[in-house]
Amino acid sequence: MYLVLNYLGMLSGLIIALGSFFNPGHQGFMRWVMIICGLLTFIAHLKITLDKKQNSAVNQNRKET
């Protein structure tokens, strides 16, 4: 369940970044603030997801040995 929420966070960050990039409604500085915030959201959720997967793989290897 926790990974699903991280995937949704990644998706929402990517949608914010791409939507702000292709939307002519935001101009100038505000447009780039929205793009950077969307990308930071995407990267943060990606890092959490990858860390969780790495920790579960390490824990699984410890149980096998």
> Is 65 inside a domain boundary?
no
Alpha helices in 1-65 (DSSP H): 2-22, 29-64
pLDDT tens digits along 1-56? 778 888 999 999 999 999 988 987 878 898 899 999 999 999 999 999 889 888 88
**Domain range spanning residue 54?**
2-59
> Is 64 inside a domain boundary?
no
> Is 20 inside a domain boundary?
yes
Q: Are 6 and 45 in contact (CB under 8 A)?
A: yes
Q: How confident is the model at residue 64 (pLDDT cuts 50, 70, 90)?
A: confident
pLDDT at residue 57, as a whole number: 76
> Is 30 inside a domain boundary?
yes
Q: Is the pLDDT of residue 65 over 80?
A: no
The number of distinct structural domains making up the chain is: 1
pLDDT at residue 25, as a whole number: 80
Q: What is the pTM of this model?
A: 0.80
> Is 19 inside a domain boundary?
yes
> Is 42 inside a domain boundary?
yes
> Is 11 inside a domain boundary?
yes
